[in-house]
């Protein structure tokens, strides 16, 4: 069943990527996000699961589709799953035609995904070879030295991904002083977090403050891949503090380990590139249709599939149709 679901979920992220890619560079991030969300929702409803969105586009009054608490799937006695989605991770990226946008989801048994509120999370992420060598409270320089040693590199050879935000001024400065190379990204930290687990991606470590929901989605992949991720929520108001406690975190600022964010091995992660990035190629339209590049990861077996799919698109797109080859 999980093997079949993994491929079904690939169809879900492919549909979202194909829909949003039509808006690349057109300056309308909302239209791109709406297209991805609509396509992802429609494809979910072809799969025999009883899914509940626990991380989505927002609360019911904020999002018409894929809102937190929404039911997805055909039902019909299918397996009950918690679903975390980001139909378009990198709305500004697509609107501006930049690199690194993806359509992504994670699924796990009911109760196994942290229901992260929509607030900030401080994160540090590495791949399997550097697991056990980081701590979110350690000095930046210590983390860099430990990761470099684990990877058999000099600090000057490390590549660190950080969101380009004023709040990261000190983090960026300390990484540069230590000699590490830095990739500053404008948006979308799920893809680079996952890329840390792939030696040929060019990403060794990701640090900094980004969205908490995106952190849980990335944690699902990192758990499957054997890497390490630590996080800490960053509530900025009393209301956000209260939301943390309502979700069971008595100490909203406790360190969150992978087991706190994703439990069990019944996890599936799927992502399709929308624009070219370090891990996935973006959607390419041709005279016959379109080509997508997807990664699907199963926690139970550790299987990683990269799917290079060719889709025949009619005048009215049929995102569920195509043929694919697996690498």
90 labelled ligand-binding: yes
188 marked as part of a ligand binding site: yes
The whole-angstrom separation of Cα 193 and Cα 209 is: 12
Pairwise CA distance, residues 106 & 84, whole Å: 5
Beta bridge partners of 271: 104, 295
Q: Rg of the chain's alpha carbons, rounded to an integer?
A: 19
pLDDT band at 63 (very low <50, low <70, confident <90, very high): confident
Q: How far is CA 74 from CA 50, 65, 270, in A?
A: 7, 16, 19
The verdict on whether residue 264 carries a ligand-binding annotation is no
Q: Output the six-digit token pair for 256.
A: 């969150």
166 assigned ligand-binding residue: yes
Identical fold for domains 2-113+266-326 and 120-261, yes or no, is: no
Low-confidence winner among 17-21, 47-51, 242-246 (lowest mean pLDDT): 242-246
Rounded distance between C-alpha atoms, residue 239 and residue 254, angstroms: 17
User: Which one is the CATH code of 120-261: 3.40.190.90, 3.10.180.10, 3.40.50.1220, 3.20.20.210?
Assistant: 3.40.190.90
Q: What span, in angstroms and rounded, lies between the C-alpha atoms of 123 and 212?
A: 9
91 marked as binding residue: yes
Output phi, psi for 302, to 5 deg: 75, 10
Question: What is the pLDDT of the chain when averaged over all its residues?
Answer: 92
> Span 133-149, mean pLDDT?
98
Rounded alpha-carbon distances, angstroms, from residue 115 to 62, 83, 111, 206, 261: 17, 10, 9, 22, 8
Q: Would you say residue 10 has pLDDT above 70?
A: yes
pLDDT for position 117: 79
67 assigned binding-site residue: no
Residue 187 is labelled as binding a ligand: yes
Q: State the pTM of this model.
A: 0.92
Does 243 have pLDDT greater than 90?
A: no
Instruction: Establish whether 28 is an annotated binding residue.
Output: no
Confidence band, pLDDT 50/70/90 cuts, at residue 3 = confident
User: Which pLDDT score is estimated for 324?
Assistant: 44
Provide the residue ranges of all domains of the chain, joining segments of one domain with +.
2-113+266-326, 120-261
The phi, psi pair for 31, rounded to 5°, reads -65, -40
Q: Which residues contact 227 (CB under 8 A, 6 or more apart)?
A: 125, 126, 127, 128, 130, 131, 196, 197
308 is an annotated ligand-binding site residue: no
Q: What is the pLDDT of residues 247-277, one digit of tens each?
A: 777 888 899 999 999 998 899 999 999 999 9
How far is it, in rounded angstroms, from Cα 236 to Cα 120? 8
- 55-64, 92-101, 119-128, 281-290: which range is least confident on average? 55-64
- Residue 265 burial (CB count, 10 A): 16
**327: how many CB neighbours lie within 10 A of its CB?**
8
CATH superfamily of 2-113+266-326: Fructose-1,6-Bisphosphatase, subunit A, domain 1 (3.30.540.10)
The per-residue pLDDT for range 12-22, each reduced to its tens digit, is 999 999 999 99
Lowest mean pLDDT of 2-11, 37-46, 53-62, 186-195, name the range: 53-62
The sheet with strand 159-163 has its strands ordered as: 181-185, 159-163, 205-211, 120-126, 228-234
Q: Report the alpha-carbon distance of residue 66 to residue 100 in Å, rounded.
A: 22
| Per-residue confidence (pLDDT) for residue 314, from 0 to 100 | 73
Whole-Å CA distances, 294 to 7, 10, 26, 153, 327: 10, 7, 24, 29, 11
Beta bridge partners of 297: 269, 304
CB-based contacts of 25, cutoff 8 Å, min separation 6: 94, 95, 96, 97
What are the C-alpha distances in Å from 320 to residues 21, 169, 182, 273? Answer: 16, 44, 38, 16
Q: What percent of the chain has pLDDT over 70?
A: 95
Q: What is the structure's pLDDT at 315?
A: 53
Write out pLDDT tens, residues 75-109: 887 799 999 999 999 999 999 999 999 999 999 99
Q: Which pLDDT belongs to residue 291?
A: 97
């Amino acid at each position: 069943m999980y093997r079949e679901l993994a491929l079904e979920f690939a169809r879900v992220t492919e549909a979202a990527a194909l829909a949003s890619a039509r808006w690349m560079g057109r300056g309308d991030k909302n239209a791109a996000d709406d297209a991805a969300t609509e396509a992802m929702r429609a494809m979910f409803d072809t799969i025999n699961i009883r899914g509940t969105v626990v991380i989505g586009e927002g609360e019911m009054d904020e999002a018409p589709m894929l809102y937190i608490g929404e039911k997805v799937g055909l039902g019909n006695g299918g397996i009950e799953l918690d679903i975390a989605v980001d139909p378009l991770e990198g709305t500004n990226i697509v609107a501006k035609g930049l690199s690194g946008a993806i359509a992504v989801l994670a699924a796990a048994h009911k109760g196994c995904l942290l229901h992260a509120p929509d607030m900030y999370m401080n994160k540090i992420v590495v791949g399997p070879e550097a697991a056990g060598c980081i701590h979110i409270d350690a000095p930046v320089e210590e983390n860099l030295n430990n990761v470099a040693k684990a990877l058999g590199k000099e600090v000057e050879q490390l590549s660190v991904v950080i969101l380009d935000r004023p709040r990261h001024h000190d983090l960026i400065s300390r990484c540069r002083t230590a000699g590490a190379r830095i990739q500053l990204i404008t948006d979308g930290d799920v893809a680079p977090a996952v890329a840390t687990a792939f030696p040929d991606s060019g990403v060794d470590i990701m640090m900094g403050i980004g969205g908490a929901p995106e952190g849980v989605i990335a944690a699902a992949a990192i758990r499957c891949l054997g890497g390490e991720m630590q996080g800490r929520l960053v509530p900025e108001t009393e209301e956000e503090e209260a939301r943390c406690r309502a979700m069971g975190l008595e100490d909203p600022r406790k360190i969150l380990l992978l087991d706190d964010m994703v439990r069990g091995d019944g996890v599936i992660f799927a992502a399709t590139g929308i624009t070219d990035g370090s891990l996935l190629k973006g959607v390419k339209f041709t005279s016959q249709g379109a080509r997508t590049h997807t990664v699907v990861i199963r926690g139970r077996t550790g299987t990683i599939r990269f799917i290079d799919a060719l889709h025949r698109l009619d005048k009215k797109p049929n995102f569920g149709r195509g043929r694919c080859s697996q690498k």
